[in-house]
Amino acid sequence: MQNLSPRVAVAADAPAQSLAAHPAWLRLKDAVETLRPLQSKDGSIDLAAVQRHTVDPLVATVRTAVAELAPLFQHDAAYLAAVDADLAKWADTGYREPDFLDSLLAFQPATQREDGLQHLVVFPMYTQNGNPDRNLEAVLLNVVWPDWLAELERTRFDNPMFVPITFTDFTAGYDTNSAVLFPETVAVRKAPERFTWGGIFCDREAARFRVVSTNAVELLGLEIPADAESLLQDQERSQQTFVLWDLIHDRTHSHGDLPFDPFMIKQRSPFWMYGLEELRCDLTTFKEAVKLETEGNVHARDVQYAILFDRLFRFPVSGDRVRNYDGMGGQLLFAYLHKHDALRWRDNRLSIDWERAPQVTNALCAEIETLYRDGIDRPKPAHWIAAYELVSRYLTPHPASTWAKGTEALPFGTTDGKALNKALCDAVLPDEFPLSMFYEALSKKLGGVIASTAGITGAGLQGVAA
């Protein structure tokens, strides 16, 4: 493997959005960034350490800027009025832990899925895969809802909460790896009875995919079909690819032969359970894309390329090695394709059998679906063990693994279910399935490219040397 500097095939970027240069938006951004270092992890501000006369003008600037921008977002009038009220309430409490439940309930983008519709979003929140603290954040975004996607969602892949979006501009919490806007990240006094929407930034996903895949293909000497090469050259086409991928992936979490608890609530499980769930959703999307391709869908083949490239190249070598469930899923897909002769690494070059790869990928999906179908008849520990056995057939566990020694080595010394589940999870190593030699080498060569994509968007491919 050779060393490469980051590069990407640059597509024609979208024209700059005038809202990003609006004076009120610039004042809003500046005030939020000045507030950031004053906030604690939970979003509160300690007025014993920070003078109130420092904070009040900043919050007043945010409120004034939101009011000035509000006429540009008539469809969000109730939400932006609630934001102003929640900001005022936060100030009245002396900037204790913020509570934006009222404005969260007023914001309903899933009921307004209109291609090109813009939103101004202001919340105290953490950003998943970005900033873990609940800082005040502000985002300008656009909804992506083309007619072809709306028709697929209406007739085939119903997903009423799914909202694909793109960035116009954002504060520092999104100058990170975060590519989602989720309501559960917002600071509230109590969680709503149910969440009704979830936003995914397809422009960031697409731009990151293009950068990493372009570099990986060159690094590994992989020959790819002409349509895959043209996909990597085209930001808009890649965004359309990701909105279809995300639509099907997101709904799959609640569809299929699921165990009683399909890993959708907060709970403690061995991290490979989350890895298999995410991989199941991606492989289900791949399987559906194969069907859509036979029906003439112009984006379906692109979805297959995107899933393979992102899962094989980016996921395994992104993030740290502590319970990295997405990384494990990517490793599993690579190993499965390799063991079934759909992928080869010879003479320092990677090759993929493009005819065989879809069949083998669908076979892995079938193995995971069988695991799930059988799971309804198993106790939870037995299901975890069966899942571990599936993964370890293709990935080599850590030599010091307790789980790899079999059931006789696991801590079954209690009949209390909660205590047993905790003991079993505690027996999992932080890196239960270490990187193979292939991925150790790839991580060293591709790590800088992946790091360079933090904060990237489709407009200008920020942070990446073209």
The tens digit of pLDDT for each residue in 58-116 reads: 999 999 999 999 999 999 999 999 999 999 999 999 999 999 999 999 999 999 999 99
Compute the distance between CA of residue 424 and CA of residue 421 in angstroms, rounded to an integer: 5
Rounded-to-10 torsion of CA 367, 369, 337, 229:
170
Instruction: Count CB neighbours of 226 within 10 A.
Output: 7
Compute the distance between CA of residue 238 and CA of residue 233 in angstroms, rounded to an integer: 9
Is residue 459 in some structural domain?
no
Cβ contact 126:36 at 8 Å: no
Cβ contact 232:210 at 8 Å: yes
Same domain, 271 and 152: no
- Domain that residue 93 falls in: 18-196
pLDDT at 291: 97
Is residue 332 in some structural domain?
yes
Least confident of 11-15, 258-262, 266-270, 405-409: 11-15
Is residue 458 in some structural domain?
no
How many domains does the chain contain in total?
Answer: 2
pLDDT at 207: 98
Tokens for 55? 């904070």
pLDDT at 383: 95
Is residue 457 in some structural domain?
no
Q: What is the mean pLDDT of residues 412-431?
A: 92
Same domain, 155 and 209: no
pLDDT class of 460 with cuts at 50, 70, 90: low
Q: How far is CA 386 from the centre of its chain?
A: 27
Same domain, 109 and 221: no
Confirm whether pTM is higher than 0.75: yes
pLDDT at 422: 93
Same domain, 104 and 243: no
pLDDT at 413: 87
Same domain, 179 and 213: no
Is residue 263 in some structural domain?
yes
Same domain, 343 and 426: yes
Same domain, 109 and 184: yes
Nearest to 210, CA basis, from 389, 365, 10: 10
pLDDT at 17: 58
Same domain, 131 and 244: no
Domain boundary among 131, 161, 196: 196
Same domain, 178 and 240: no
Higher pLDDT, 414 or 448: 448
Answer whether residue 430 shows pLDDT above 80.
Answer: yes
- The predicted-structure confidence for 212-223, as pLDDT tens digits, reads as follows 999 999 999 999
pLDDT at 415: 76
Cβ contact 186:98 at 8 Å: no
Is residue 10 in some structural domain?
no
Q: What mean pLDDT value characterizes the chain?
A: 93
- The predicted-structure confidence for 13-36, as pLDDT tens digits, reads as follows 334 458 999 999 999 999 999 999
- The predicted-structure confidence for 347-382, as pLDDT tens digits, reads as follows 999 999 999 999 999 999 999 999 999 999 999 999
pLDDT class of 4 with cuts at 50, 70, 90: very low
Same domain, 30 and 71: yes
Answer whether residue 10 shows pLDDT above 70.
Answer: no
Same domain, 219 and 165: no
pLDDT class of 264 with cuts at 50, 70, 90: low
pLDDT at 6: 43
Is residue 5 in some structural domain?
no
Answer whether residue 266 shows pLDDT above 90.
Answer: no
- The predicted-structure confidence for 184-193, as pLDDT tens digits, reads as follows 999 999 999 9
Sign for the CA dihedral angle at 30, 36, 38, 39 comes to positive
pLDDT class of 333 with cuts at 50, 70, 90: very high
Give the β-pairing of 180-181 and 349-352. Answer: unpaired
Domain boundary among 196, 224, 255: 196
Domain boundary among 143, 175, 196: 196
- Amino acid code (one letter) for 181: L
Identify the residue whose tokens are 């060159």.
218
Q: What is the mean pLDDT of residues 189-207?
A: 96
Identify the residue whose tokens are 């939970």.
42
Is residue 462 in some structural domain?
no
Answer whether residue 8 shows pLDDT above 50.
Answer: no
pLDDT class of 414 with cuts at 50, 70, 90: confident
Same domain, 26 and 87: yes
- The predicted-structure confidence for 293-315, as pLDDT tens digits, reads as follows 999 999 999 999 999 999 999 99
Q: What is the mean pLDDT of residues 137-158?
A: 98
Q: What is the mean pLDDT of residues 250-254?
A: 93
